Structure formats: C-alpha cells, structure tokens
Structure 1
Amino acid sequence: MSSRRSRSMFSDLQRQSVSFTNLPTTTTARFRPPPRPMLAALLFAVLASVIAWQASTAEAASSSSPSPSRYDLTFQRYQICVNSSSRACSDYEAVCLNCTFNESCSYGLATTANCSVPETIHCAGDRIFSRNLTCQYCYQSPEADYACSENTDCDAQIVDATYEAVCTMMDDVLCIGNRRFKKNVPCEWTAGIRWSTALLLSITVGGFGGDLFYLGYTGWGLCKLFTFGGLGVWTIVDVILIATGYLGPADNSLYL
C-alpha cells in the first residue's frame, strides 16, 4: 500500500511539473521611438511656428510705435509763428493769421479774405493784406488739407465702419470756420500684417499653425499644431479663408 501511494504521489508531481512548464512566458514591452524623419518633420514644424510667432510679435511691436502721421506732425512740428523782421507779413502760414471771410460767397468758387498778422509777431511789410482761398468751410476741405486722429479700437474688417476723429487743418491751408473739427472717418487701420506672408505661411507650414501664429491666433495655432492641421482638413480650409481675405488679423486690422 505504501509503495502504491508513493507512486501515485510521484505521478502527481510529474503532472504538476509538466503543467508549470507549459505556462506562457511573459516578455517586457520595449518603447520604440518614432522614425527619425517624423521627428525631424515635427521639429521643423515647431521651429517654423515659433519663427512665425516671433515675426508677428515683431511686426506688432513695430506697428505699436508707427512713424508720425500728418496729425502728429501738426502738433509736434516746430513753432512757425515766430518773430522775424526779415520775413514778409503776407508769407506767414494761415494758422498764424487773423482773417475775416465773406461767408456769403459761392461754395467751391474762389474768394478773398482780409487777413492780418497779430501784434505779437514782428514782420516786414504791410500787416494787413488779402489772401485768396476757395469758398468752403474747413470740414469741407479735401482730405489732403487736414489730418485726423487715429483709432485702433475700431473693427477695420467691418465694411464701411467709421469712427469719430478730431481733425486739424494743415498750417498753410486757409479755410472758413473752425480749423479743428470732428468728423466720421473710415476705420481703415493696419498693424503691419501682410496678406502675402499669411498666405505663404498657410501653404507651407499651415498644417502646424504657422499662419495662425502670424495672424495673432495663438490658442488656435497651438490646437492646429498638436492636431497636425486637423489631419489636413483644417489646413486646406485656412488656406482658402486667407486667400479670399475672409480670415484676417486677430486684432481686427487690415492686411497690408
């Protein structure tokens, strides 16, 4: 009995050992890096997007301090109404004169004003003289004869959008009425963003958000970058929108 029991126990151990040897073996999974061409393309896209964002930032900074406009020069130019005993009184600019007008003149036709130089200004010749001008009020003058304040808060992308500006006549232009007046001016300002640059970026690196970074849409540019241009669909749509001018700068300015 004991020998039979020992044989059965030995056979049971053999079966267990066989079952253990048949268990599947486990292997440790290894991380496989993406192919090098894909990494290079991703790095190039990120670099191009950063360059586009820096270009838009630089242009925005340069547009924030634009060159003086005609309006700025009107108030910042040197004092012209100075004493000069060698300068003829009739040669002084209109802003330096006291003039009386015939307000019953025919609009748009030539008329004459009686002008004089203030006593505080020393000049040569007659202090009272006549000056020819066109019969029109200052606010009716051509746009080239006055300069207006600028407004970058209005939406320039809205058709026929206007804003109320303060306009001042040029120093040498003579007109009837107040030389400084308010006028509704078309909202047509620009921050220096070029349509051609935006379209080129949209075609080349638009799939990685380069065009949106340039236009100032930083958040949408990041979304476009990490989705690879919406798998191409977003890229095509933005190319069409920029090409037609429907998608403009984020600050509501006009393209150059």
Structure 2
Amino acid sequence: MVGVNFFGNFDLASLAIWGFWLFFAYLIYYLQTENMREGYPLEDEDGEIAPNQGPFPVPEPKTFKLRDGRGEVTVPSPENEEAHRRQNLALERTATANGFPLAPTGNPLADGVGPASWAPRRDEPELDGHGHPKISPMAGHADFFVSAGRDPRGLPVLSRDDQVVGHIKEMWVDAAEQMVRYLEYDLEPEWGEGSRLVPITLTRIKDRWVMVKTLKAADFNGVPKIAGTDQITKLEEDKVSAYYAGGPLFS
C-alpha cells in the first residue's frame, strides 16, 4: 500500500545527513564570498592584480544604505576601493618577490607606514544609537564621573625617556560604552605646542604621573592634531592611534 511502503526502501537518515553537509558547504561558500566585499580582488605590492585570487569568486556588488542620512556605499566596487586607498606611500621593496617586508624611506611615524599605518576612513565622527557623536570630552557629560581608580586630570605626562612632555587636562569618554577612550594633554613649550589626545589603553596611570611608553619626548609634537574641540572623527582616531602604536618600533 502507498501509505505503508512508500518509504520502505528510502533512507531518511542518509537524506538528512547529506542535506546537512550540502547546506554546510553552501554556508561556507556564502560566508567566504561575503567576506570578500572589501579588499578584493587581491593586489601585489605594486598595486597590480595578484595572479593568485583564491578559489572563491568576488561577489556581485551590493549597495548598503548608511544610517543617519550618510548616503550609500557599494561593495565591492573599484570606485570604493580607490577612495579608500592611500597612494605614494614612503616604502620600498626589500626583495623582488612578493610577501617580503617593505622598508620605510622617510619618517615612518609621520608617513603612517608599518605599525604606524592608518586607513583613510570617513572624516566624520562615529555616532551612537541616537545619532550623536560617541566620543567627546567628559566635561560635556554632567552625569559622568570617575567612579574608581586615580583621576588622571592634572597629572604630568612622562615619555619613554622619562621627560615631562605635558599635563593631562581632560578625559574623552565613549558615552555609549560608558568608558574613557582618550586622555587629552597640553604639551610643554619645550616639546611642542597645543593639545593632543592619547588612547588610554596606551598609557599607564600612576599616583604621580601618566606614562606613555610608546614615544620619546621629541616625537610628541608630531602626534596628529584633531580639528574639533568636542568630537573626533574616525579618520582622526585612526591617525592618532597609529602614531602611538608605531612608537615601539620607530620612536
């Protein structure tokens, strides 16, 4: 009878396991291709298309609508890759084959190469869920205060060669995450002019000073300045963080 022996010789367990493996293979393919929306097709150190592009094809372009009226972005697209590529970097090859390190030809901290490299992100602040800049000085938040640990405001800033290069004057907080992101300090006239930001994760706050171990005193005047007094853009964040990060190798 049809209702009794239709599945009599059909292995449902085999169907289930093969269905799972086919789905899993498609999932890997889908995730890998979606991961190739930025930075592809691959290029070599000279900017030419690399001969080995890998086993997966570049996905079809997809347009994303950005929030808060910030337009649209299409990826992958040659125009988008060109807009987010830095040209004429101060680097030279150390070998004819690909994959070898590139050597800086100028001041790597100022040129932003190697561990001091930065990406040309949008020159606009990152926004929170309400459309406000996420990172701003603590002075603009009446409900924020230091709940634990040493308040660094007023403390001197020491370089890796034990020179007082400035004094902390403000903390910049990420209101959405409720944490301090940057410390702002005024430079001593001996080492430069104006104020700078330093990522708090690259400092050590002591009882009597704030140590910035990645830079020597002479390099602090070269820390990139920011344009605003109450917000920092994503491009400025990349440049500031990269400068300090390159210090252990280049300073």
Normalising by structure 2, report the TM-score.
0.17
In terms of fraction of residues, the more strand-rich structure is 2
In terms of fraction of residues, the more helix-rich structure is 1
Task: Choose 1 or 2 for highest CA Rg.
Answer: 1
Normalising by structure 1, report the TM-score.
0.17
Greater relative CO (CA pairs within 8 A, separation 6+) = 1
